[in-house]
């Protein structure tokens, strides 16, 4: 049987991520940031003064990737590094005025990128897609043994019907 990549969740997730990145890149370039910088900016908008280690952990990214991203952001005057007050080995990363000023427009750009990719989705379909994406991410974080233990207890795992299927969701049949 031939492999159909359009039936592969991993292929489709990768394709979707590239499309989102492209959408965000077009919008972000006009504002002065790159798509890879957006997650760092978002974390710093939520909590300024994080360390590189905290960003690595929160973004589930490689050390080298974050180091390169931060170097570019510092070069572009989006962040500034300062010595950590209690850990001489660490530096805290703070937004500059320029980085802070991007927040509103960058969030609008990210929402527009989401909206462009989810055009035609009804509100409940969008919510379900996001829920299913979060479930898949959680599954990816489980060991294979844990995943096998979790599968039977997940609501909806034993059926092909969507979890929220029913009369309130047009086009869906109840279980």
Q: What is the pLDDT of the chain when averaged over all its residues? A: 87
How confident is residue 174, by pLDDT bands cut at 50, 70 and 90? very low
Nearest to 35 by CA among 90, 87, 1, 73: 73
Q: What is the pLDDT of residues 155-172, one digit of tens each?
A: 555 555 455 544 445 444
pTM over 0.85: no
81: domain range?
28-117
Both 42 and 110 in a single domain? yes
pLDDT value for 35: 87
- Compute the distance between CA of residue 78 and CA of residue 61 in angstroms, rounded to an integer: 19
Which tokens is 54 given? Answer: 């905290």
Please check whether residue 79 lies inside any domain of the structure: yes
Give me the CATH number covering residue 86: 1.10.10.10
Distance from C-alpha of 100 to C-alpha of 68, rounded to nearest angstrom: 20
134 and 102 belong to one structural domain: no
How far is residue 158 CA from its own chain's centroid?
28
For 26-65, the three-class secondary structure string (H helix, E strand, C coil) is HHHHHHCCCHHHHHHHHHHHHCCCEEHHHHHHHHCCCHHH
CA distance 121 to 19: 17
pLDDT at 51: 97
Same domain, 111 and 136: no
- In this prediction, residue 155 carries a pLDDT of 56
Flag whether pLDDT at 115 surpasses 90: yes
- What domain count does the chain have? 2
The pLDDT assigned to 100 comes to 98
Asked if residue 11 is part of any domain, the answer here is no
């Amino acid at each position: 049987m031939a492999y159909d990549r359009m039936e592969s969740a991993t292929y489709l997730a990768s394709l979707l991520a590239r499309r989102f990145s492209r959408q965000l890149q077009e919008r972000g370039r006009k504002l002065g940031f790159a798509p890879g910088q957006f997650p760092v900016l978002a974390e710093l908008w939520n909590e300024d003064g994080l360390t590189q280690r905290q960003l690595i952990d929160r973004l589930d990214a490689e050390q080298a990737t974050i180091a390169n991203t931060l170097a570019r952001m510092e070069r572009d005057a989006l962040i500034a590094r300062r010595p950590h007050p209690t850990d001489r080995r660490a530096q805290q990363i703070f937004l500059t005025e320029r980085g802070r000023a991007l927040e509103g427009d960058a969030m609008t750009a990210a929402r527009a990128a989401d909206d462009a990719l989810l055009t035609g989705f009804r509100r409940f379909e969008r919510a379900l897609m996001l829920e299913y994406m979060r479930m898949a991410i959680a599954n990816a974080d489980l060991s294979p043994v844990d995943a096998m233990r979790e599968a039977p207890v997940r609501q909806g795992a034993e059926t092909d019907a969507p979890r929220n299927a029913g009369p309130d969701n047009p086009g869906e049949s109840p279980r």
